[in-house]
Amino acid sequence: MDKLPKIALPAIVVLIVLVILISKSAVTIGSGEAGVLYQTFGEGVVTDEPALGEGFHLVAPWNKVFVYNVRQQELFEQEMSVLSSNGLEIKLDASVLYQPTSGTIGFLHKTRGENYLSSVIIPAIRSATRSVVGRYTPEQLYSTKRDAIQNEIYIETKKILEPQYIQLNAVLVRDVTLPPTIKEAIERKLKQEQESLEYEFRLVTADKEAQKVRIEAQGKADANKILSASLNDQILRDKGIEATLKLAESPNSKVVIIGSGDTGMPIILGNN
């Protein structure tokens, strides 16, 4: 009985040490995350093996694990000040959708570290935005070139980020703010252009309507000309006789005298 405490004490100490070692060795990688292993007594950051995936892992207690979010993330850059092609200051709001490339996250940690957002992504989007916006006038930025600018910023930012182990999914230009005087001038110009287009449309419509009337009038004139050319005295006389016979058959006619007037047509007397 006297020896029991002496045996139990080392066992308790060993158990405590094991618990401490296991607690320091146990690493849990959450959903949408990946772990980068750092070997203290080895070659440092492990880049030749896949990153630690989701779930429970045991590592040597003297090593470290750096956990990265590998889901798609959004960076909202508000009111970036850039210059247009004619030197005017433009403010632009944009969102950047990105995520670390999970297969090369070890290289990202080794070359850029956990603060890659501020050291890589933000400078990249700002640089690309300045470069692209500097090619366009404020009028183009405000109206016709918005989609083209967004696509060009995406392409230039992607060129910067891809070699640095960051996947760029999209760049969304949310708003372009021009100086008030420039914005008002552009809106006036756009309004004038719209009014000019409407006026031209009305002119074209009126010209087509006038052309239609001319064609209809010409058609009627040609028809009358053809009809006049086909009529002669004999045809007119025959038509007159037909009309006279119809009148004679009418119950309203009382006396019909068939004769010839100055025009050679029958003379009708005795109407109601």
60 & 120 share domain: no
Domain limits for position 82: 73-178
Q: Tell me, yes or no, whether 46 and 127 share the same domain.
A: no
- Say whether both 167 and 198 belong to one domain: no
Same domain, residue pair 153 and 82? yes
Residue 160: the pLDDT is 93
Taking a C-beta distance cutoff of 8 angstroms, is the pair 63, 40 a contact?
yes
- Give dist(CA 219, CA 222) in Å, integer: 5
Spatial contact of 100 and 53, defined as CB atoms under 8 Å apart:
no
Low-confidence ranges of the chain (pLDDT < 70): 1-24, 143-144, 181-195, 197, 199, 224, 227-241, 243-272
Q: What 3-state class would DSSP assign to 47?
A: coil
User: Are 249 and 170 members of one domain?
Assistant: no
pLDDT of residue 251: 66
Instruction: Tally the domains of the chain.
Output: 4
What pLDDT is recorded for position 152?
A: 93
165 & 138 share domain: yes
Last residue of a domain, one of 22, 50, 69: 69
pLDDT at 236: 59
Alpha-carbon distance of 163 to 54, in angstroms, equals: 26
pLDDT tens for each residue of 166-211:
999 999 988 888 777 666 666 666 666 666 767 677 777 777 787 8
Exposure letters 168-204 (e unless 16+ CB within 10 A, then b): beebebeebebeeebeeebeeeeeeeeeeeeeeeeee
The pLDDT of residue 71 is 93
Does one domain contain both 251 and 213? Answer: no
pLDDT score of 27: 86
Shared-domain flag, residues 250 and 218 = no
Q: What is the pLDDT of residue 266?
A: 55
Residue 6: the pLDDT is 59
The whole-number pLDDT of residue 259 equals 54
The C-alpha angle 157, 128, 104, rounded to 5 degrees, equals 25
Are 50 and 29 a contacting pair, CB within 8 Å? no
> Which pLDDT belongs to residue 254?
54
pLDDT at position 1 is 46
